[in-house]
Amino acid sequence: MLQQAFNGLVGGAFYALLALGLAVIFGMLGVVNFAHGAFYMLGAFGSYVLLDSFGVNFWIALVAVPVALGLAGTVLQRLFIRRLAPLDPLYNFLFTFGLALILQDLVKREYGVQSQPYPRPDLLAGTVDLGLFTYPAYQVFVLAVSVTLCLLVWLVLTRTRVGMIVRAATERPELTRALGIDVGRWVTPVFGFGIALAGLAGVLAAPMRAVNPLMGGDLIITVFAVVVIGGLGSIFGSVAAGFAIGLVSALGNLYVPALSQTLVFILMAAVLLWRPAGLFGREEALS
Amino acid sequence: MILSRLAARPPLLAAGLFLALALPWMIYPPVALDIACWALFAAALDLLLGFTGLLSFGHAAFWGTATYVSGLIALRAGLPFPVAVAGGALAAALLSVPIGYLSVRLRGIYFAMVTLAFAQMVYFVVNQWRDVTGGENGLQGVPRELFGLDLSDSFVFYYAGLPLILAGFLAVWRVVRSPFGRVLMSIRDNPARAQALGYPVQRYKLLAFVLSAGLSGLAGGLFALGHGFASLESVYWTTSGQVVMMVVLGGIGTLWGGVIGAGLVVALNDYLVTSGFDGIGIVTGTIFVLVVLVFRRGIWGTARDLVHARTGRRPDPGQGDASDGTPARPEGVGSPV
């Protein structure tokens, strides 16, 4: 059971990284990025292609792929997302939905729907003794990376000037602007950063999950549910819900296997019933 | 009364009816049936998106559930097809009550996300409940008959199903033109004021949601029987996206725009499939992106504005305000740059 809990935390690590990216993008730009799952998938495919065609190893991919995708994200924001920003946020949601379809099917046409293998890096091929049980080293690494990144982002958000601006712009956009802070300057980098996080999650997923074009589509909808549970607009809530949902789903899977895929949505329904704005959300979501 | 209003626009109405009747002569009958079903699905979604201001990104749940329920009724109970279709529509409406109850509390983009998530839950349930739904194989060999009359020919079935489709359209049209529809539009345009005037906004939204889901179910049930199968794809999120695209392409809040959007998208998909192109999402996604970026009023909306600009007539207020390229919906989250 402890081992299952650990599995859950590792699964939660992916939810948390994706939810974190979604939350900062939503907070700063007011955009719900449906293409987030597609960028996660591109992250996994990026590292697969680098290894398969160019012999570039996991460690380089771990840095290069997120950076490249992050840059692609900034271009995307500059070219398109920005134009739709003054309109109802639904338009950007529809735009990113269309983009997700394009990216997914482009990759599908190129590589088919079968899963591509990606070996674990040699350094992390073994297992680690965690005292009560041994556990694959790679999974421990994934969890460590995710937790470290989430903590780093938290430090940046709470301790630096940029973080202060991002938080202020997330919580009171008009007021922040009225105080003379150039929010616009930070919008593009934040969007790129969110995309980079999705790409990083994809690279991390490559050695332990099936690398295929459809890996992002279903996952992102689950992450939407996670973000609704945590409270959309709450960065902390999204990350916390990410880990918590990972844990709860894994334990749920242990006791009620039939619910393994639906549990997160049942939890979402319960949260909506009890606290419609999400566990850490603000009331602005309500109608 | 309804008839007198319908008669107010005889040329358009006659053209529409003629097209509906002539469609299976003009194109491959199964495709004609697809267009009819998707057109009703799009109109049902527009009732919610264009006239109530709620973007449901989870309507595959209702369309898809109806395909399975109708299919099962015809397959297991062997009941005539209108009963099976009605059962599917009823099941979709029932399913929409809890989903709608939880979702209408949220606004704008939140509503879209939550409906999308609930639809995904329905998808997983259908996928896992193999004994009933057939899992990845879906339901196959669903019979279509009416009092012993064999309707397995698509050409014949089109005409058998058409009255149900037209009844669905009449219902949407009637709702939009009714006092109830006016309240929905006032909620879309200014929910706070509608509330202040004493309308129970949440209850109206829920009712619109259930109506929209039931009509989507009607379309889905006919779709399943018309093809003789129900498949997982019909409950998948791409189906929700596809119907939204039809409405946006045709013009949000125009009702008939969705019909045009459905016709174009179904015909295009059919063309792509028959020509062996295996990246439909690339084309669909590109249309989606282009429409959102540069053609937000949609086909019907653009055409209507052109006509009005020529004749100098003011747009009909009942047809939704899409004049500035956005559906009239003042609420929004954040205020992005």
Residue A48's contacts (CB-CB under 8 Å, 6 or more residues apart) are A116, A118, A206, A211
A79 touches chain B (CB under 8 A): no
Which whole-number Å values give the CA distances from A15 to A147, B228, B331, in the listed order?
12, 39, 29
A198 min Cα distance to partner chain B (Å): 18
- Distance (Å) from the C-alpha of residue A223 to the closest C-alpha of chain B? 9
Q: Specify the pLDDT at position B213.
A: 96
Residue A21 included in any domain:
yes
CA distance B266 to B269: 5
Pairwise CB contact (< 8 Å): B336 & A225: no
pLDDT confidence band for B3 (50 / 70 / 90): low
Work out the mean pLDDT of chain B and round it to a whole number.
84
Mutate to test the interface with B, among A80, A90, A105 (most CBs of B within 10 A): A90
Do B106 and A101 make contact, defined as CB atoms within 8 angstroms? Answer: no
Looking at residue B92, its pLDDT comes to: 96
% of chain A beyond a pLDDT of 70: 98
Question: Which sequence spans correspond to the domains of chain B?
Answer: 27-319
> How many whole angstroms separate alpha carbon B95 and alpha carbon B81?
21
Mean pLDDT on B202-230: 93
pLDDT tens by residue, B237-247:
999 999 999 99
Distance CA A184, CA A222 (A): 30
DSSP single-letter state for residue B230: B
Q: What is the mean pLDDT of residues B203-227?
A: 94
Closest CA relative to residue B336, chosen from A28, A245, A54: A28
In a domain, A235, yes or no: no
The fold of B27-319 is ABC transporter involved in vitamin B12 uptake, BtuC (1.10.3470)
Output the six-digit token pair for B131.
């004994």
Distance CA A179, CA A187 (A): 17
- Residue A16 belongs to a domain: yes
Could you please report the per-residue DSSP string of B112-148?
HHHHHHHHHHHHHHHHH-HHHH-GGG-B-----EETT
Report which secondary-structure segment, H or E, holds A241: helix A235-255
Say whether residue A259 is in contact with chain B using an 8 A CB cutoff: no
- How confident is the model at residue A98, as a pLDDT? 93
pLDDT recorded at residue B315 = 52
d(CA B74, CA B335): 51
Interface check for A114 against chain B (CB to CB < 8 A): the answer is no
Distance CA A243, CA B204 (A): 37
A154: contact with B, CB 8 A cutoff: no
From the list A26, A82, A287, the residue facing B105 with the nearest CB is A287
Give the confidence band of A4 by pLDDT, cuts at 50, 70, 90.
Answer: confident
Residue A231 near residue A242 (C-beta atoms within 8 A): no
CB B82 within 8 A of CB B162: no
Q: What are phi and psi of A4, to 5 degrees?
A: -60, -40
Q: Could you give phi then psi for residue A86, rounded to 5 degrees? A: -70, -15
Q: Which helix (H) or strand (E) holds B205?
A: helix B201-227
Residue of B217 and A132 predicted with greater confidence:
B217
Residue B332 has what pLDDT? 36
3-state secondary structure of A227: helix
The confidence score (pLDDT) of residue A101 equals: 92
| Position A149 in a domain | yes
Give every CB contact of residue A44 below 8 A, 6+ residues apart in sequence.
A118, A202, A203, A205, A206, A209, A211, A215
Chain A residue closest to B190 (CA)?
Answer: A287
Which residues from chain B sit within 8 angstroms of residue A27, using beta carbons? 334
Average pLDDT over residues B95-113: 90
Report how far residue B45's alpha carbon sits from residue B37's, in angstroms, rounded to the nearest whole number.
12
Interchain proximity A95–B109, CB inside 8 Å: no
User: For residue range B51-84, what is the model confidence (pLDDT) as tens digits?
Assistant: 999 999 999 999 999 999 999 998 888 788 889 9
CB-CB contact of A276 with B106 (8 Å): yes
pLDDT in the model for residue B330: 37
pLDDT of the residue at B179: 92
Instruction: Residue B116: list chain A partners with CB under 8 A.
Output: 221, 224
pLDDT of residue B333: 32
- Identify the domain containing residue A133 by its residue range: 8-213
List helix spans (H) across chain A. 2-29, 36-54, 58-76, 82-84, 89-111, 137-159, 161-171, 173-178, 184-205, 215-230, 235-255, 263-274
Q: How far is A129 from chain B (nearest CA, A)?
A: 36
Tell me the whole-structure pTM to 2 decimals. 0.89
Mutate to test the interface with A, among B96, B101, B107, B109 (most CBs of A within 10 A): B109
3-state secondary structure of B242: helix
Q: What is the pLDDT of residues A205-241, one digit of tens each?
A: 988 888 988 888 889 989 998 988 988 778 888 899 9
Residue A110 has pLDDT above 60, yes or no: yes
The token duo for A85 is 């920003």
- In Å, how far are B50, B88, B292 from B252, measured between CA atoms? 5, 26, 11
pLDDT of residue A284: 62
Give the helix/strand (H/E) hosting A128. Answer: strand A127-129
pLDDT the model gives residue A119: 82
Predicted local distance difference test score (pLDDT) of residue A286: 62
User: In the structure, how many helices (H) and strands (E) does chain B have?
Assistant: 15, 2
Question: A25-34, B164-173, B306-315 — which is least confidently predicted?
Answer: B306-315
The CA distance from A166 to A26, in Å, is 11
Continuous segment of H or E residues that includes residue A144? helix A137-159
Residues A17 and A151 sit within 8 Å (Cβ to Cβ): no
Mean pLDDT of A70-96: 88
**CA-to-CA separations, A88 to A32, A72, A99, B107, B166, in angstroms, rounded:** 12, 24, 18, 12, 33
Is A283 within the bounds of a domain?
no
Cβ(A132)–Cβ(A4) below 8 Å:
no
- What one-letter code names the amino acid at A15? Y
DSSP type of residue B74: I
User: How far apart are alpha carbons A166 and B241 in whole angstroms?
Assistant: 31
Which one is predicted more confidently, A74 or B329? Answer: A74
Q: What is the pLDDT of residue A17?
A: 92
Amino acid identity for residue A206 in this structure: A
C-alpha span between A217 and A208 (Å, rounded): 18
Provide the residue count of chain A. 287
Determine which helix (DSSP H) or strand (DSSP E) holds A136, and give its type and residue range: strand A134-136
pLDDT digits (tens, 9 = 90+) for B257-269: 899 999 999 999 8
Is A162 a domain residue? yes
> What are the Cα distances from residue B135, in Å, to A64, A153, B124, B131?
40, 42, 10, 8
Domain assignment present for residue A272? The answer is no
Amino acid at A267: L
Q: Please provide the average confidence, as pLDDT, over all residues in chain A.
A: 86
pLDDT attached to residue A201: 93
Domain count across chain A: 1
Percent of chain B with pLDDT over 90: 43
Separation of alpha carbons B106 and A285, rounded Å: 6
Task: Output the pLDDT for position B7.
Answer: 52
Q: Please choose, from the candidates B291, B286, B216, the residue with its C-alpha nearest in 3D space to the C-alpha of residue B252.
A: B291
Residue A136 inside a domain? The answer is yes
